[in-house]
Chain A
Amino acid sequence: MTQQATPESLGLTSRIPAPLIRVLRRRDANVFFLFFVLLAAIVYFSIESPYFLSDRNAFNIGRAVSITGIAAAFATLLMISGGLDLSIGAIMNASGLTAAVILAESDQGIVIAFAIALGISTFIGFANGIIVTKIGVNPIIATIGMQFVVRGMTLATRSGSALVRDSTFLSIGQGELELGSLEIPIPVILMLLTMLLAYLTLRFTQFGKYIYAIGDNASACRRAGINVDRYRIALYTISGVGAGFAGLVLTGLTGAGIPYAAGSELSVISAVILGGVSLSGGVGLIQGTLLGVLLVGVLKNGMTLLNINANWQMVVEGSVLMIAVSLDQLKQRI
């Protein structure tokens, strides 16, 4: 650690104590920070509302954030690599509706319905990847275009909802896993498993290393002999599959395929950014994304319990994101 820019070298000694700077400069500083903010929010709501601190309410929060969480785990991988996918919400709806319609209107079983829904999601993600990497369209433009196309096609296929009656399908959204006295909602388990998978990928695999490397310096990766385009296409494809999977869980949760069910992809992306992933790539941890998703869920739930109007909840949510990103910017000046 000898060459690290020291507080002395930056003339900041008098104002910020050195141990604090060392903590702030850690790669996982965001994660610690979010953890304490989350803890503070939990303590506050527990004091203010008698209903907040219970396993039942915790699972309500978990269920509420699980769909965003699943999509966010995959989006985190893409965004650390410097990519961005604004078609996530559209893919979620397309996937959920496709599976529900196939089950409702054909004699195909759930396996075929899921396979087709995920196949479509895979294809959309792959198409995003090709357009961004091989043609070189800016990811924001490319995936907004894709969002319109997919949303339009979904609504053209069916403007109303398709009810789900298949019990397996419903159970991935509404089921619970009994663990001792706890009944953990299946979507929460799916979210945690997805996050775990993303964590293991980032932490231990060559693919994970390349995600960070490409996010930091794609041209250096190319020059090191890495097939950058292939990895980027893979990441957009994974983002598509992840959104498709989240859409299936959402459909199971709501009990119907609805062409406009999923909120916007912006809630997924803002949770990822709140978790410390930089839009310019190369930075971020999945633990941060998990905490970002949970923090949004806790704030919404707590404010609802305190009877705070939904409009003001939105104001708080936006402010938290802005404060988090601003603090991150300020941190970089240290």
Chain B
Amino acid sequence: MQTPPIVETVGLSKYFKGVVALDQVSISITAGQVVGLVGDNGAGKSTLVKILSGDLEPSAGQMLLNGEPVHFRHPRDAKKNQIETIYQDLALCENLNIMENVFLGHESYRNPFLRLLDRRRMYSETAQLLKGLGIRVPSTRELVMNLSGGQRQATALARVAKAGAKIVILDEPTAALGVNETRNLLDLVMRFKEQGKTIIIISHEMRDVFEVTDRIIVLKRGELVADKFTAETDPDEIVRYIIRGRE
């Protein structure tokens, strides 16, 4: 028997006050794949990943993980199912420092009733984690409000790496990054892939998409218009799908 896909959606739809943001999207992703999700603005990419991350509930359709139907009501549910997401806005708290953001929602604490933060332990774990990822920051005590775009991204990545999820979703990860920072990010994506993680990455940057993905899914006005293996297509064809939709 074939192993079921790690992520599968069947007829997934989302309506916002009568506007169709996602229309009957059915995709199936095999474990270990790096999937690029592309499309013009308003194509439904972010809506799709928000449903996969539990940030939005679908209006219709179903989602299956390893063949089992799941229903996410809260991002917590997705996390329990080993799905971690780096959102476009990175979802960091500016008034907290790097360590506090990396551990947000997963704090180590002493005394289960009072939940006294075990800061020393979290600082040392954060330092190790960043070192392991090859990320350099001035100090894990630096507040996020004082960080550059790349350092913020690194903080968000470290959070995902810490969670050790099997499925990692990245929403426009390179949009705010400089050349070197983009390079580091793509390297990190490849490292995640080597670790056997399944990755879904939204990007506008065709070069990045073709460099790291195994497969490219194109959405247009909420519909799935193409699902191609990266090796069997080229940027021109994908751009054509993005602009003209299904042929």
A201's closest neighbor in chain B, by CB?
A: B114
Set B85, B91, B100, B138: member contacting A2, Cβ < 8 A: B138
Q: Determine if A204 is an interface residue (Cβ-Cβ < 8 Å).
A: yes
- Which residues of B approach A to under 8 Å, CB–CB? 53, 55, 74-76, 79, 85, 87, 89, 91-96, 100, 104-107, 109, 114-117, 138-139, 142, 146-148, 151, 159
Q: Which chain A residues lie closer than 8 Å to B139 at the CB level? A: 1
Q: How far is the CB of B50 from chain A (nearest CB, A)?
A: 9
In the complex, A36 has a CB within 8 A of chain B: no
In this assembly, does A207 line the interface, its C-beta being within 8 Å of a C-beta of chain B?
Answer: yes
Interface residues of A in 217-234 (CB under 8 A from B): 217, 219-227
Are the C-beta atoms of B95 and A205 separated by less than 8 Å?
no
A227 to B74, alpha carbons, bound, how many Å? 9
Q: Are B104 and A3 in contact (CB under 8 A)?
A: no
Q: In the complex, A59→B205 CA distance in Å?
A: 67
A224, closest chain B residue (CB): B105
Residues of the B chain whose Cβ atoms lie less than 8 Å from the Cβ of A209: 96, 100, 107, 117
A204 CB contact (under 8 Å) in B55, B104, B117, B138: B117
Smallest Cβ-Cβ distance to B114: which chain A residue: A205
Closest A-chain residue to B138, C-beta based?
A2
Residues on A lying within 8 angstroms of B by beta carbon are 1-5, 204-207, 209, 212-213, 215-217, 219-227, 282-283
17 contacts between A and B (CB under 8 A): A1-B142, A205-B114, A206-B107, A206-B115, A206-B116, A212-B93, A216-B93, A220-B89, A220-B104, A221-B105, A222-B75, A223-B85, A223-B87, A226-B76, A226-B104, A226-B105, A227-B74
Q: Please state if B91 and A223 are interface contacts (CB–CB under 8 Å).
A: yes
Given the known A-B contacts A205-B116, A213-B96, are A225 and B105 also in contact in the complex, defined by CB atoms under 8 Å?
yes
Say yes or no: A282 contacts B142, CB within 8 Å: no
**Given contacts A206-B107, A222-B75, are A217 and B92 in contact (CB under 8 A)?**
yes
* Interfacial chain A residues near B79, Cβ < 8 Å: 225
Which of A205, A217, A220, A226 is in CB contact (< 8 Å) with B115?
A205
Q: Are B138 and A1 in contact (CB under 8 A)?
A: yes
A224 in complex: contacting residue of B75, B115, B116, CB < 8 Å = B75
Residue of A nearest to B151 (CB): A3
Expressed in whole angstroms, the Cα–Cα distance for A2 and B115 within the complex equals 32
- Docked-complex contact A220 and B93, CB < 8 angstroms: yes
Residues of B contacting A4 with CB < 8 Å?
146
| Contact, CB under 8 Å: A282 / B53 | no
Could you say which of B96, B109, B147 has the most chain A C-beta atoms within 10 Å of its C-beta? B96
A273 and B142 CA atoms in complex are apart in Å by 26
Counting chain B CB atoms within 10 Å of each CB, which of A4, A219, A220 scores highest? Answer: A220
Chain B residues, Cβ within 8 Å of A207:
115
Measured between alpha carbons, how far is A302 from B42 in the docked complex, in Å? 63
Q: Is the pair B146, A1 in contact by a Cβ cutoff of 8 Å?
A: yes
Asked whether, in the complex, the Cβ of A227 is within 8 Å of the Cβ of B104, the reply is no
Return A278 CB to nearest CB of chain B, in Å. 10
Q: Is the CB of A216 within 8 A of B115?
A: no
Which of chain B's residues has its CB closest to A229's CB? B74
Q: Which one of B76, B91, B116 lies within 8 Å of A220 (CB-CB)?
A: B91
Distance in Å: Cβ of B108 to nearest Cβ of chain A: 10
Q: Is the CB of B95 within 8 A of A283?
A: yes
B109 closest partner in A (C-beta): A206
Please give me the residue from chain B that is nearest to A207 by CB atom. Answer: B115
Q: How far is the CA of A222 from the CA of B104 in the complex (A)?
A: 10
A331 → B minimal CB distance (Å): 14
CB-CB nearest 5 A-B residue pairs: A224-B105, A220-B91, A206-B115, A225-B76, A225-B105
Residue of A nearest to B141 (CB): A1
Residues of A within 8 A of B87 (CB): 223
